Each structure stands twice: as C-alpha cells, then as structure tokens.
C-alpha cells in the first residue's frame, strides 16, 4: 500500500511528539513514551494551568504511543489520530 503525503506527515509528527526518529525500534519508542509520560503526567503539577497543559500533552503522548507501539508496521492506523497537525511542543520545567 502506498502511503499518502498526509499520512506521511502525520507519521512524522507522531515520531516527533515522542522525540524519536522514524527509524526508531519498538524498544526506543517504548522508552521515549515512558520518559515523556513521566514528564507530562498531570499528577506532577499543582498549578491548574500547568496541570491542564500537562494533561493535554500526556494524552497526546499516550495516543502517539498507542498508534506507534501497537501497530508499528501498519501505517494506515495513523488516520485515527485527530488533530495530529495541532501538536504543541511545550517544554515544562520539573518542579
């Protein structure tokens, strides 16, 4: 199956969200997911605004991992991630 340019763009965004290359192994994707899930876990933040941002990013990290981790070879599943072009890359400092 030939991958459309839109699917390819979504694919790149999912990898970028986890800060791994498209050539990353399943293990590298899993490690990146665990790292970013810890950083963005909403329970780590007391400030309401930071908690909201963390919740959004945590959900995006989980969605990306679910797509890349479960169906790593099936690129057609990338169509199921709504708003992939709206990812915000927000770096939060650890409190």
Q: Is there a domain that residue 94 lies in?
A: no
Which among 13, 18, 29 is positioned nearest to 72, based on CA atoms?
29
Q: Kindly report the pTM of this predicted structure.
A: 0.65
CATH of the domain at 28: 1.10.287.110
CA gap 39, 93 in Å, rounded: 9
- How far apart are alpha carbons 77 and 75 in whole angstroms? 5
Task: Label residue 12 by pLDDT band (50, 70, 90).
Answer: confident
What is the domain count for the chain? 1
Boundaries of domain holding 16:
5-86
Query: Using one digit for the tens of pLDDT, what is the confidence trace for 70-93?
Result: 655 444 444 445 554 444 444 444
Is residue 95 one of the residues assigned to a domain? no
Q: Between 81 and 56, name the one with better pLDDT.
A: 56
Is 92 a domain residue? Answer: no
């Amino acid at each position: 199956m030939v991958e459309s340019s839109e699917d390819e763009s979504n694919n790149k965004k999912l990898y970028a969200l986890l800060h791994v290359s498209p050539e990353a192994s399943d293990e590298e994707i899993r490690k990146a997911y665990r790292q970013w899930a810890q950083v963005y876990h909403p329970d780590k933040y007391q400030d309401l605004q930071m908690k909201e941002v963390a919740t959004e990013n945590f959900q995006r990290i989980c969605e990306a991992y679910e797509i890349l981790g479960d169906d790593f070879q099936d690129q057609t599943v990338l169509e199921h991630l709504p708003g992939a072009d709206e990812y915000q890359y927000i770096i939060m400092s650890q409190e």
